[in-house]
Amino acid sequence: MPAPTNKKPSSRKLSTLTPQPFELRPSSIQGRGAFATRPIRKGARIIEYVGERISQAVADERYDDTAMSRHHTFLFNVDEDTVIDAAHEGNDARFINHSCAPNCQAFLEGERIFIYALRDIGEGEELSYDYSYDRTEDMGPDEEALYVCRCGAPTCRGTILAPMEKMEEEASRKKAVKAPKKKSSGSARKPPAGRKQKSTAKSGRSASGTKNRARTRSARG
């Protein structure tokens, strides 16, 4: 996304907007999209992302990215063991398209995923959020072409895969967590000049250990 903050908008409403504040129409981004039928205020909880809850192993059996000419699934990570597949028992939330300059964001609340408005959204505007699919270090131009983005935003990065900096931040976080603690020598050491402290902030839950790791969207916790 440019990346939105980890915190939900302070003005968010506590209940999901009812009736559904959008309708499905053909989208220039991809297939059918969700378009606001009335103004939506920043922070409003728009809809829950629902579907069949399956294991990562079942998701691997059900979908094979290598057999697709272009990636197309409705999978969303809940945790390392659970994925929501909105192609089964899903609702209209699955039609909200990706954008690199989104007006919505997905948040994980407990074991449920909700879509919130990042800013005020006008009637007729297409709803979107950044799918930020999990990226692995060995992914290159072929994978970026498979996970192509056509959102048309001035800041479009050309792919629905997470930005490289997000992958590097996650790798730094995992490395910091796994690194053994060094014994103190009794005096503080000054870090080398120009070296920035690595962030260990958690930016959302993501799947691990699956053969098609990039299939799944990640919500911020």
Q: What is the CATH number of domain 22-179+195-215?
A: 2.170.270.10
> Per residue in 29-55, pLDDT tens?
999 999 999 999 999 999 999 999 999
- What are the structural domain ranges in the chain? 22-179+195-215
**Block residue for tokens 């309708």:** 23
Closest CA to 92 of 15, 10, 8, 27: 27
pTM of the entire structure? 0.70
Quote the CA–CA distance of 91 and 94 in Å, as a whole number.
6
Determine the pLDDT at residue 109: 94
Strand partners, 45: 16, 116
Query: What's the distance, Cα to Cα, between the start and end of the chain in Å?
Result: 16
Instruction: Identify the band that residue 134 occupies on the pLDDT scale cut at 50, 70 and 90.
Output: confident
Average pLDDT over residues 168-193: 45
Average pLDDT over residues 103-124: 96
The yes-or-no verdict on residue 71 having pLDDT over 90 is no
Determine the pLDDT at residue 6: 45
Determine the pLDDT at residue 175: 54
Instruction: Identify the band that residue 72 occupies on the pLDDT scale cut at 50, 70 and 90.
Output: low
Q: Across the chain, what does the average pLDDT equal?
A: 75
Is 219 within 8 Å of 204 (Cβ atoms)? yes
The yes-or-no verdict on residue 141 having pLDDT over 70 is yes
